[in-house]
Chains A and B, each alone.
Chain A
Amino acid sequence: MYVADSRGATAARDALRPGPRRTAAIAPTVFALGAVSLITDISSEMITAVLPLYLVAGLGLSPLGFGLLDGVYNGFSAVVRLVGGHLADRRGRHKSVAVVGYGLSAVCKPLLLLVHTLPLIGAVLAVDRTGKGLRTAPRDAMISLASAPATHGRAFGVHRAMDTAGALLGPLVAFVILRQAAEGYDAVFTVSTCVAVMGVLVLLLFVPGRQATARGAATTGDRASLRAALALLKRRDLRRLAICALLLGLATVSDSFVYLVLQHRFDVPVQWFALLPLGTAAAFLTLTVPLGRLADRLGRWRVFLGGHVALLAAYGLLLTPWHFGALPYAVLALHGTFYAATDGVLMAAASATVPAALRSSGLALVQTGQAAARFACSLAFGAAWTAWGDHTALTATAIALMVCVGATAWLRPVEAAV
């Protein structure tokens, strides 16, 4: 057995015991997966940051119409996620599926050096997203299987914080390269490739493979068939959790709409617009670990609900008639708090309701349900904005969110998690 494994198991045993030792270390596997995500996010956000400039200034293309593919990508990636989740469970091959997922995205980076037309660049990005869709559920399953149930909130918090740190570093690396070499997009893509390869290597070398997950599967005796995966929805606790995630997702407008309304209502200067997501990411980065710990202590559903209350407060601030200077910052801070209190916490909550042998499928099911609901909400929000304007659309969403928070509080889906 791996050194890492035995240490993880000790940490898990310690964590199960109540008392001061409960806050024992995070399993090494979680740190390893966090490092993989951090490195991979540096690589992919480098590309994201320079892509518009590359398309317009480097290739002289009009990137309009590119966005039309976005909906297709989103739907596709949701399906891929379910497939990845199922494949990972089938023979306890979480790591193999994750390697394929990360590998697929790594292969896409050098391809960007070779393709110079919008449709081909779109195709490469679609493959990149397929990789992302494939790896997400097995990775989250590995995080939960490597840590003790009582520390799941924290484990996911640590992972998400590392992931976001990478996302914040990526654009910085890209601009340092472009500083050294004007129009050096090929250098950005090459460095991004090298970084992505390093992420896959860390995954191959430092994340334990089949043994760890097989052990989990053996204890529960569940078979990871497609039927068993679908039968998960018959489990009352998972069904309730999925329904709550879906309900709340239906009242969660996409980030870009939040930034657009923010810019609209408070006349944020245009040159700051691209920086708004950084505000959300910064709040997410600082709060995700503390809120994950809080979720372990207070109960995940409370923190998860609290996160949605933060989102409700953000909507409220966007709707308020008063203006004060700190208001946009407050909205972004609340928006980041919402993600910190829900993203990893939902996975921690779901982990508690899914048997180990079906962990990956179960997590994929919840994630896909939530993503689909959020996508539906964005479509509805866009239509409502068109018909009634942003103020009315946001008011309606806020009311819907209030109702959904009430319903979730009443259903109490994951109280028994801790």
Chain B
Amino acid sequence: MSTGQPMNHRNRLLVLAAAVAVLAVVATASVLHAAGRADRKDQAQAGGPPIAAGHVSLAASAERLMVFRNMAWGPHRDELSTVPAAAPDGPRTASGVKCLRFYAAAGTGICLQAVHGAVQDTYRAVVLDSRLHELRRFPLGGIPTRARVSPSGRMVSWTVFVSGDSYAGTAFSTRTSIVDTRTWQLASSLESYAITREGHAYRAADVNFWGVTFADDTRFYATLATGGKTYLVQGDAAAHTVRTLRENVECPSLSPDGTRLVFKKRVKGLSPDAPWRLYALDLHTMRETPLAEHRSVDDQVVWSDAHTVVYSLAGDYGSDLWTVPADGTGTARRIMTAALAPAYVGG
């Protein structure tokens, strides 16, 4: 360090110049390498699922389809695409509409997308009609994660991650919004709802909501986090209220008949890397059943029918879709590679 004979000014500048040259080469090479990789992702991979541009509709049709974000490399990467629900590994039809997260029900779609700006990316939520035409757009204050539509297609919800203060890079929070597509009235944050926690009115600055799932156009379930705990809440979008039902329930997803929730639960004793397991909760008996997926799932599952759920896990191209029965039986099975954010339409 500062021991030994000090260098003179010229030598110090020479050392600095040499170091800058080396570091600049390393830095440039890493950027070029990453840029090259990004370009390769625009080329279709051999052996990937066949995909072609075509007509994509969210409207009811004879055939039941699965709509999802295609993550396979090639010109249609990140586009909303469809496959027949009965043959999820079959040829894909790409729509040309890019979304990071997506969900659809009864002809209404919600697409959370990135807008690439000159110096920064921004995000927006776009409500789509059944022909994927934009009905309304809302600016988002953070990175999108969850999206849901009520069974009738009227109510739409989404969640984003917000990081506020640039000097404390580790503090994150979520913001969850609900919009009524009939009146276009927007509840920009569920934090403005009146909270009843364990029977008492509750207010706190550290309240966070995420992962809404709708029962109908008024009633919904979601996750509430406060004071270091997470709760399952039942909400009323008309009265602007939520009340807690149970602890340690995240990202609930309601079954088509409205009687059960599948959710991710933080299980004690698991590695903090992979803390979650999927559980089913019977809303009448409040009994929990672990599902037969033994890996940590950080997703809000989608019900593919009355007995089965679909969810994403990391895969070679970012994300693959897996399925498991919702009653704890059977085994987990991969149904699609390079896909994310599925929704079932038509049929």
Which residue from chain B places its CB closest to the CB of A192 in the assembled complex?
Answer: B27
Cα A270 to Cα B170 in complex, Å, equals: 19
Tell me if A256 and B205 are in contact (CB < 8 A).
no
Cα distance, A417 to B191, chains bound together (Å)? 49
Nearest opposing residue in chain A for B208, CB measure? A64
Contact A61–B170 (Cβ < 8 Å): no
Chain A residues 246 to 301 lying within 8 A of chain B, measured CB to CB, are 254-257, 259-260, 269-274, 276-278, 281
Q: Judging by beta carbons under 8 Å apart, are B175 and A202 in contact? A: no
Cβ of A231 under 8 Å from chain B: no
Instruction: Give me 25 A-to-B residue pairs in the complex whose CB atoms sit less than 8 angstroms apart, sorted by A's number.
Output: A62-B161, A64-B173, A66-B171, A70-B168, A96-B2, A118-B273, A125-B170, A175-B119, A180-B34, A181-B34, A181-B35, A184-B35, A187-B34, A191-B27, A191-B31, A198-B20, A205-B12, A208-B2, A255-B165, A256-B165, A259-B165, A271-B123, A278-B166, A385-B204, A386-B204
Q: Mark A179-195, 1 if CB is under 8 A from B, else 0.
A: 11111101100110011
Do the beta carbons of B166 and A56 come within 8 Å of each other?
A: no
User: For residue A256, which residues in chain B have a CB less than 8 angstroms away from its CB?
Assistant: 164-165, 168, 171
Asked whether, in the complex, the Cβ of A177 is within 8 Å of the Cβ of B31, the reply is yes
Q: Does A181 contact B31, Cβ atoms closer than 8 Å?
A: yes
- Quick one: CB contact mask for B114-129 with A, threshold 8 Å, 1 for yes? 0010011111000000
Interface string of B205-240 (1 = CB under 8 A from A): 110101000000000000001001000000000000
Q: Quick check: is A210 within 8 A (CB to CB) of the other chain?
A: yes
A322 to chain B, nearest CB (A): 23
CB of A216 within 8 Å of the partner chain: no
Q: Which 9 A-B pairs have the closest CB atoms?
A: A209-B2, A270-B141, A184-B34, A181-B34, A190-B30, A187-B34, A67-B171, A48-B169, A117-B273
Interface status of A49 (Cβ within 8 A of chain B): yes
**B interface, CB within 8 angstroms of A:** 1-2, 6-9, 12, 15-16, 19-20, 23-24, 26-27, 30-31, 33-35, 37-38, 41, 100, 116, 119-123, 139-143, 145, 161-175, 188, 203-206, 208, 210, 225, 228, 272-274, 298, 312, 314, 318-319
Chain A residue nearest to B24 in the complex (CB):
A194
CB–CB B169/A191 < 8 A: no
Q: Which residues of A contact B174 (CB under 8 A)?
A: 64
Main SS at interface, chain A: helix
Instruction: Note all chain A residues with C-beta closer than 8 A to B273.
Output: 117-120
> When the two chains form their complex, are residues A209 and B170 in contact, meaning their CB atoms are under 8 A apart?
no
Chain A neighbourhood of B141, CB < 8 A: 269-274
With both chains docked as a complex, state the minimum distance between the C-beta of A112 and any C-beta of chain B, in angstroms.
Answer: 12
Contact with B along A156-189 (1 / 0, CB 8 A): 0000000000010001100111111111101100
Is B171 touching A270 in the complex (CB atoms < 8 A)? no
Residues of B within 8 A of A47 (CB): 169
A321 interface contact, C-beta 8 A: no
B100: nearest chain-A partner, CB-CB: A57
Residues of the A chain whose Cβ atoms lie less than 8 Å from the Cβ of B161:
52, 56, 62-64
Asked if A31 is at the interface of the complex by the 8 Å CB criterion, the answer is no
Cβ A183 vs Cβ B145 within 8 A: no
**Is residue A99 contacting chain B, with contact meaning CB distance below 8 A?**
yes
A201 to B203, Cβ gap below 8 A?
Answer: no
Residue of A nearest to B120 (CB): A175
User: What residues of chain A lie closer than 8 Å to B123, measured between beta carbons?
Assistant: 271
Of the candidates A57, A178, A181, A194, which one forms a contact with B27 in the assembled complex, judged by CB atoms under 8 Å apart? A194
Indicate which residue in A187, A273, A389 contacts B33 across the interface (CB closer than 8 Å).
A187
With an 8 A cutoff between CB atoms, is A233 at the interface? no
Minimum CB distance partner of A63 in chain B: B172
- Cβ-defined contact, A64 with B166, below 8 A: no
Q: Which residues from chain A contact B272 at a C-beta distance below 8 Å?
A: 117-119
Give the shortest distance, in Å, between B207 (CB) and chain A (any CB).
Answer: 9
A89 lies within 8 A of chain B by Cβ: no
Instruction: Report the separation of the CA atoms of residues A316 and B203 in the bound assembly, to the nearest whole angstrom.
Output: 24
Chain B, residue nearest A393 (CB):
B205
